[in-house]
């Protein structure tokens, strides 16, 4: 069943120009979708538009058949979409515990069980829960950011470059955690420069170029595609 559907959206940062042009994409329940492509293709812009940080100039964004196009980010979050940006994705002056609590600020129920689920997923965060996020390594900060996003118990998680700037040992760990989160029933869209690794853990992938979807297929088919390999996967 389709949980998120993007229909022919165009969007940009100024009224005069667009970054995305008539782009369409679907995410089924339980899927990991990777979005790959060169720098400037519009991958991060796509995530920002889904999450309401940018308003589509045309087209629709449907969450389980409900049109969420143009809603404010906090309303989209309440409906079950969480977003982890590439940079500035933690509150460095707050502790790990406080960062996670901030992730649940729009909930009006008891989130104790969710907090424990996050700490079970990321044991190192529980060990250091009173440490300020600004004192953590890049990989640990990424875990805090993902943990905070999970505090809303999202149906869909948007991840923008989760491995960017991380040491190789943390890249592997973050990707393992992404797969584990997916087994919890969370659908995902991942924008990732490490395209080969992203496709290896995804169900399907979309290739963006110049703000348009130029190809989509099952991940193993994209990995086997010689042109995709030459242009986007390093040969």
Residue 168's pLDDT is 83
Alpha-carbon distances of 176 from 53, 73, 209, rounded to whole Å: 28, 28, 28
CB neighbour burial string for 171-196, b if at least 16 within 10 angstroms, e if fewer? bebbbebbeebbeeebbbbbbbbbbe
Residue 173's pLDDT is 87
Q: Strands, E, within 150-226: which ranges?
A: 156-160, 187-191, 204-209, 212-218
Residue 228's pLDDT is 92
CATH code: domain of residue 13: 3.40.50.300
Residue 233's pLDDT is 84
Query: Which positions of the chain have pLDDT values less than 70?
Result: 235
Residue 10's pLDDT is 97
Residue 235's pLDDT is 59
What's the pTM? Answer: 0.95
Residue 45's pLDDT is 97
* Structural domain that includes position 189: 2-232
Contact 162, 87 (CB under 8 A): no
What's the structural domain count of the chain? 1
| Residue 179 to residue 63: CA distance in whole angstroms | 22
Residue 116's pLDDT is 96
DSSP state, residue 217: E
The stretches of 52-111 forming alpha helices (DSSP H) are 73-78, 96-103
Q: What is the pLDDT of residues 134-176, one digit of tens each?
A: 999 988 999 999 999 999 999 999 999 998 888 888 888 889 9
| Residue 206 to residue 24: CA distance in whole angstroms | 10
Residue 87's pLDDT is 85
């Amino acid at each position: 069943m389709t949980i998120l559907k993007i229909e022919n959206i165009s969007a940009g940062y100024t009224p005069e120009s667009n970054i995305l042009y008539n782009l369409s994409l679907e995410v089924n329940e339980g899927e990991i979708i990777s979005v790959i492509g060169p720098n400037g293709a519009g991958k991060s812009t796509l995530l920002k538009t889904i999450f309401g940080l940018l308003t589509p100039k045309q087209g629709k964004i449907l969450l389980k058949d409900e049109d969420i196009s143009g809603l404010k980010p906090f309303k989209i979050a309440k409906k079950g979409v969480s977003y982890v940006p590439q940079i500035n994705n933690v509150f460095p002056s707050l502790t790990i515990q406080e960062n996670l609590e901030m992730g649940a600020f729009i909930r009006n129920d008891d989130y104790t069980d969710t907090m424990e689920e996050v700490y079970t997923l990321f044991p190192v965060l529980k060990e250091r829960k009173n440490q300020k996020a600004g004192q953590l390594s890049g990989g640990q900060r990424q875990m805090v950011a993902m943990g905070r996003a999970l505090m809303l118990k999202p149906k869909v998680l948007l991840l923008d470059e989760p491995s960017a700037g991380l040491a190789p040992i943390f890249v592997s760990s973050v990707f393992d955690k992404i797969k584990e989160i997916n087994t919890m029933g969370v659908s995902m869209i991942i924008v990732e420069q490490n395209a080969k690794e992203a496709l290896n853990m995804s169900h399907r992938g979309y290739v963006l170029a110049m703000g348009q979807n130029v190809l989509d297929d099952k991940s193993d088919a994209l990995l086997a595609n010689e042109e995709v390999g030459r242009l986007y996967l390093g040969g």
